[in-house]
Structure 1
């Protein structure tokens, strides 16, 4: 996250840096995004940039921090709506993100970031800075979940065990949202497959009650490839 020196800048300069970063991360995939382009557009030196942020990963995390906070609030709200069902909440959140994704501000930024980053960096984007239970903010999020889930239906035992379960659920959620942004499959197929995966996770792979694959879900079908230009 930004250093105090960044927050000490005048608001106009901070906004200029943010605008330049959003423009660059929205214009091209994360691996192609250029710090040189950002500092040129923001009219700052390269040396100054590194006194504000560690690297472009640090900058990207700052840009999506508001998105993460909003997601956490919506997760808690969805848990109440779904009567403490963690798995239904995860599916509801995926649908919300997919429905709003193509229309929300910064959609191109999220698409470019999620479709290229490795799982570790994707998790950091979602606010998981440490492995499992090592990040204070993530621990607070888990504590909030633990207080809201239906413990009678999901006796996870401890917050540490819940953190392990949430980590697995997040992998499925991030994968589904990434596939949606990439256009790897349509929304209905992605949701149907992910719901079956959630069902298996919820009930156990060895329960003997695994769902049959719907004939409408063709996992071996490949989408038509599309060429995308990132030229200005």
Structure 2
């Protein structure tokens, strides 16, 4: 979590620092990133960096949290757009994430995040989908989902569906980016897997 001094910065100075950090994390992974490069790009002394962030991980996870927050807002908007259809909403999130990663300033950042995935990174991405009773963000999602259209009998089962869909989405994002799939090819593979989940994996006995 950035320090209060970061949030108190003027927007222009804050954006310069954010852009510098994003440029470095787009060049290499978190583990190979250099604070010196961030300082050079932002044009600030080393001491100033530590007035804003604890370390490079602090800066990285701030950027990742902002990305996760945007994805959450898009999921909420898509659930409203598709009248609670969870599969259509999350499919649109997958598409928009791929399209977002094509943007000049985002493609390499998202690629480095996904191809260097670990528990902490994945947890940051999925924090908005935790079932914690104090998590109002999950409540927002749960309340918008069309439960009548799902084969579920409890809130717990809706949560498990979200976990499964999140895992499938992560897998496909990593596969698509690491193999440089086109967006149409990536969508075709992803939607095939979603259809299998929707229809079930076992045949109904005749």
Does TM-score exceed 0.5, indicating one fold?
A: yes
1:122-169 deviation line (CA, Å, top 9, x unaligned): 331x2518x943495xx3222112111111122544444433321221
2:127 corresponds to which residue?
Answer: 128
Q: Which has the higher helix share?
A: 2
State the Cα distance separating 1:192 from its structure 2 match.
Answer: 2.7
- Pair 1:91 & 2:91 matched: yes
2:183 matched residue in structure 1? 187
Q: Give the alignment's TM-score, normalised by structure 1.
A: 0.72
Q: 1:93 to 1:9 in 2, by over 3 A?
A: closer
Q: Which residue of 1 aligns with 2:45?
A: 44
Cα distance in structure 1, aligned partners of 2:197 and 2:51: 44
Tell me whether 184-193 or 108-117 shows the greater mean CA deviation: 184-193
Write out per-residue CA displacement over residues 37-74 of structure 1, whole angstroms, 9 at most, x where no aligned residue: 223433232x6544533443331232244433332222
Q: In terms of mean alpha carbon deviation, does 19-28 or 2-11 score higher?
A: 2-11
- How far, CA to CA, are the matches of 2:54 and 2:203 in structure 1? 49
Hey, what's the Cα distance between the residues in 2 that align with 1:164 and 1:102? 30
| Counterpart position of 1:79 | 79
The alignment of Structure 1 onto Structure 2 pairs a total of residues equal to 203
The residue aligned with 2:111 is 111
User: Offset at 1:121?
Assistant: 1.0
Is the Cα contact below 8 Å between 1:79 and 1:85 reproduced in 2? yes
CA spacing shift, 1:96–1:12, aligned 2, 3 Å: closer
